[in-house]
Amino acid sequence: MDPVLFVALAALITALATGLGALPFAVWRTMTPRTVSVCNGIAAGLMLAASFSLLQEGNAQSPSYTILGLVGGLLFIAISHRIISRHKEFHIGAVQGANAIKMLMIVGIMTLHSAAEGVGVGVAFAGGDNLGEFITAAIAVHNIPEGLAIALVLVPRGATVWQAAGWSVFSSLPQPILAVPAFLFVTVFAPFLPVGLGLAAGAMIWMTMSELIPEALEDATSPMIASAVTMSIAGMLVFELMLRAM
């Protein structure tokens, strides 16, 4: 198979895997306000754990570029939130107002995250087939809990399971789009990878602390939300350890 086509197909598989994260909601349909708060706490933990991984990976390549990206991600998401919040009539389908804004932001942030991962896939394949295949498999499996994090935010706010799955896949489309250019022009893309990792981490941390955790505390106690955040971080880290051991 043509190497470029192979890279594109491998990255597409990683994007489709993100949609699997919404599947638990095909069974779990009814939610109390407390359950919604816990879902926000779990999503916050998953996003924080993903941010830790992004920063660790970026730091290993270039600490200064990673810090630059982290601050850039903070500024980008804070400014974007201020601009979007001015449009009170903003809606996604039947969802309007603050809930629609949160849905847009979580999808946007995870899309930014996926862009960095797409570059990572392309750079990995340029470094050798075995490395590329391993990185692709790891990202595909890693995308499932990220899809769950998106669904945990979207479904309680009125999105259907299939809409959540669709938005999850959509958020990962930068992976197949950017993997091929990164594979073909690795010397151009590779230096910017730490910046992209930092950008995604900064945006995810801001979203977690500014939106998800405060909302989680509305209908659940702080010890309950702290436990949900901590356990979801622990679960994500165990998940990553299992991936590395494979």
pLDDT tens for the 246 residues of the chain, in order: 677 888 888 888 888 988 888 888 887 766 778 887 888 888 888 888 888 888 888 898 899 999 999 999 888 888 877 877 676 565 555 555 566 667 777 788 878 778 887 887 887 777 665 666 777 777 787 788 788 888 888 887 777 888 889 888 988 888 888 888 888 887 778 788 888 888 888 888 888 888 889 888 988 999 999 999 999 899 888 877 776 676
CB 208 within 8 A of CB 151: no
Which pLDDT does position 53 carry in this prediction? 82
Question: Which two structure tokens, joined as six digits, stand for 240?
Answer: 């990553």
Distance CA 81, CA 61 (A): 30
Question: Which two structure tokens, joined as six digits, stand for 130?
Answer: 């075995």
Calculate ∠ Cα 116-95-15, nearest 5°. Answer: 25
Question: What residues does each domain of the chain span?
Answer: 3-24+32-245
Distance CA 220, CA 79 (A): 29
CB 201 within 8 A of CB 110: no
Which pLDDT does position 66 carry in this prediction? 93
Task: Pick the closest to residue 211 from 30, 63, 81, 110 (CA basis).
Answer: 81
Task: Pick the closest to residue 202 from 105, 104, 76 (CA basis).
Answer: 76
Question: Under DSSP, is residue 217 helix (H, G, I), strand (E, B) or coil?
Answer: coil
Which pLDDT does position 235 carry in this prediction? 86
Length of the chain: 246
Which pLDDT does position 227 carry in this prediction? 94
Calculate ∠ Cα 41-43-49, nearest 5°. Answer: 105
Distance CA 21, CA 39 (A): 13
111: Cβ–Cβ under 8 A, 6 or more apart, which residues? 170, 171, 172, 173, 174
Q: Identity (one letter) of the amino acid at 187?
A: T
Q: How far is CA 211 from CA 8, 32, 102, 153, 225, in A?
A: 34, 19, 8, 11, 14
Bridge partner residues of 96 (DSSP): 91
Question: Which two structure tokens, joined as six digits, stand for 176?
Answer: 């197949």
